[in-house]
């Protein structure tokens, strides 16, 4: 292939380490790191890699990880193995009762697997590298599809996330940027990032997600959770949440996204943006319940890119690997400005072609088929936009 020419007037960098892709959470676990292999395969088959600076990312160091995480938690992650778990950490054994020591979030969602620490430090290293490319002005858009693990807490793994690479990357950006806007289109609430920056006005967090306190993970992120209630706290009004119901479609989502993100950028005037592109908000996702197509999901990236503000793009959820790969490859093409140039027929050859057999060899299969009825009437979406605009009026500076 001839490849695609570099974008004019700006630089895009791609940060990845193929070692990440080799890790397994366990056979039946929905999180599949090899979706990154599929993504890369599409990106390279189209020749998109020739239009970017591609960096082999390094593992984050312990010093870098403890900029957010608690040291005893990092010690635990770096020393625990499936073999020593039961002997060294007996209180983490299934069924253990009565122990009130550290728990660290280990369980079915966040299992201890072989190479866990290597996996964590590699995806975190890629996000930190990507953030540094932006602060050093060597890159205008930096991409790390292996990152975006928004649920991890200071001393606790949660929802398939162990290290919060997004928080670590934002901490890097904050060394040079006065204000960072974080936008999260994963179907789940970006609770870990929200919590980490709950008390500062230098990061505005905005998550779009399915919200049901009782039945949908993590159960946080209602419309009225906008930051510390005490008004002297600088973080007041600097967390925004867009709680949604099942089945939202491209047209509704795009309208809502632009109606909310536009005013956020105009009011907050961020000097850098981090966009978490969790692909579990697509239709036909194994865990999600929205009806977005690849184009609808991608239009969020196009819209954010159009503001020409230094942009860090990370992955996140996404549990139907072939569609995750389609979405992230399409979004890579948007970042390099080549989306209009791609032939929507996937240029794939064996052995990868068979992964895409279900919907056929197209980049844009219809995913909106009504597995979930759209339970987001226009009146509901309008009330969200009104509430968010109201919340933005409290924000000054």
Residues with active-site annotation: 189
**265-294: which residues touch ligand VJV (CB under 6 A)?**
278, 280, 287
Minimum distance, C-beta of residue 344 to Ca ion, in the bound complex (Å): 27
Give me the residues paired with residue 313 across strands: 143, 275
CA 211 to chain centre: 17
Give me the residues paired with residue 239 across strands: 205
Task: Tell me the C-alpha to C-alpha distance, in Å, between residue 43 and each of 243, 291, 330.
Answer: 32, 24, 8
Distance CA 231, CA 223 (A): 18
Where on the phi/psi map is residue 3: left (φ > 0), alpha (ψ -120 to 50), or beta?
left
Contact characters 203-222, ligand VJV, x per CB under 6 A: --------------x-----
Binding of ligand VJV by 188 (CB under 6 A):
yes
Instruction: List the structure tokens of 35.
Output: 């979706």
Question: Which option in Zn ion, ligand VJV, Ca ion, none does residue 310 bind, with CB closer than 5 to 8 A by kind?
Answer: none
Task: Compare residues 21 and 184 and give the one whose CB is closer to Ca ion.
Answer: 184
Minimum distance, C-beta of residue 188 to Ca ion, in the bound complex (Å): 6
Distance CA 172, CA 131 (A): 6
Distance CA 77, CA 46 (A): 38
Distance CA 77, CA 397 (A): 40
Distance CA 244, CA 377 (A): 10
Residue from 129, 140, 250, 280 in contact with Zn ion (CB under 5 A) = 280
CA 78 to chain centre: 23
Residue from 148, 270, 315, 317 in contact with Zn ion (CB under 5 A) = 317
Segment contacting ligand VJV (CB under 6 A): 60-68, 136-144, 155-163, 337-345? 155-163
- Number of residues engaging Zn ion in binding (CB under 5 A): 5
Task: Compare residues 221 and 337 and give the one whose CB is closer to Ca ion.
Answer: 221
| Structural contact between residues 243 and 188, judged by C-beta atoms closer than 8 angstroms | no
Task: Tell me the C-alpha to C-alpha distance, in Å, between residue 34 and each of 22, 30, 148, 197, 339.
Answer: 7, 11, 16, 31, 24
Give me the residues paired with residue 205 across strands: 182, 239
Binding of Zn ion by 368 (CB under 5 A):
no
Q: Which residues of this chain interact with Ca ion, rule CB under 5 A?
A: 184, 186, 207, 209
* DSSP string across 314-376: E-----SHHHHHHHHHHHHHHHTT-GGGS-SB----TTTGGGGTTT-SBS-----SSSS----
Burial class (CB in 10 A: 0-12, 13-18, 19+), 94: exposed
Contact characters 166-205, Zn ion, x per CB under 5 A: --------------------x-x-----------------
Binding of Zn ion by 221 (CB under 5 A):
no
Question: Which option in ligand VJV, Ca ion, Zn ion, none does residue 28 bind, with CB closer than 5 to 8 A by kind?
Answer: ligand VJV
Minimum distance, C-beta of residue 86 to ligand VJV, in the bound complex (Å): 19
Contact characters 21-60, ligand VJV, x per CB under 6 A: -----x-xxx------------------------------
Minimum distance, C-beta of residue 114 to ligand VJV, in the bound complex (Å): 16
Task: Compare residues 17 and 254 and give the one whose CB is closer to Ca ion.
Answer: 254
Minimum distance, C-beta of residue 192 to ligand VJV, in the bound complex (Å): 9
Task: Compare residues 221 and 337 and give the one whose CB is closer to ligand VJV.
Answer: 221
Binding of ligand VJV by 109 (CB under 6 A):
yes
Residues near ligand VJV, by CB under 6 A: 26, 28-30, 108-109, 149-151, 159-161, 186, 188, 217, 278, 280, 287, 316-317
């Amino acid at each position: 292939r001839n490849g695609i020419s570099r974008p004019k007037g700006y630089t895009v960098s791609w940060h990845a380490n193929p070692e990440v892709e080799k890790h397994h959470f366990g056979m039946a676990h929905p999180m599949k790191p090899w979706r990154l292999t599929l993504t890369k395969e599409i990106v390279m088959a189209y020749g998109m890699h020739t239009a970017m600076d591609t960096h082999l990312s390094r593992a984050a160091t312990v010093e870098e990880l403890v900029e957010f995480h608690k040291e005893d938690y990092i010690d635990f992650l770096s020393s625990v193995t499936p073999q020593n778990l039961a002997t060294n950490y007996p209180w983490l054994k299934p069924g253990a009762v009565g122990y009130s020591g550290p728990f660290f979030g280990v369980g079915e969602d966040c299992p201890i697997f072989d190479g866990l620490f290597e996996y964590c430090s590699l995806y975190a290293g890629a996000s930190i590298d990507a953030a540094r490319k932006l602060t050093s002005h060597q890159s205008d858009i930096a991409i790390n599809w292996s990152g975006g693990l928004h649920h991890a807490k200071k001393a606790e793994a949660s929802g398939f996330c162990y290290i919060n690479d997004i928080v670590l990357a934002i901490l890097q950006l904050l060394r040079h940027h006065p204000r960072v806007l974080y936008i999260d289109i994963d179907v789940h609430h970006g609770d870990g990032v929200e919590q980490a920056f709950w008390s500062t006005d230098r990061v505005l967090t905005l998550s779009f997600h399915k919200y049901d306190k009782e039945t949908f993970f993590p159960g946080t992120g209602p419309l009225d959770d906008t930051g510390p209630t005490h008004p002297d706290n600088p973080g007041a009004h600097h967390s925004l949440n867009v709680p949604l119901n099942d089945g939202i479609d491209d047209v509704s989502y795009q309208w809502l996204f632009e109606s909310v993100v536009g005013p956020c950028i105009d009011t907050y005037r961020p000097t850098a943006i981090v966009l978490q592109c969790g692909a579990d908000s697509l239709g036909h996702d194994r865990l999600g319940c929205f009806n977005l197509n690849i184009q609808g999901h991608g239009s969020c990236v196009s819209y954010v890119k159009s503001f020409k503000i230094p942009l860090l793009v990370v992955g996140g959820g996404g549990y139907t690997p072939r569609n995750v790969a389609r979405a992230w490859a399409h979004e890579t093409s948007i970042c390099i400005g080549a989306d209009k140039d791609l032939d929507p027929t996937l240029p794939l050859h064996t052995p990868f072609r068979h992964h895409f057999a279900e919907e056929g060899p197209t980049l844009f299969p219809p995913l909106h088929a009504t597995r979930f009825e759209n339970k987001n009437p226009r009146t509901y979406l309008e009330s969200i936009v009104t509430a968010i605009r109201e919340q933005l009026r409290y924000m000054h500076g």
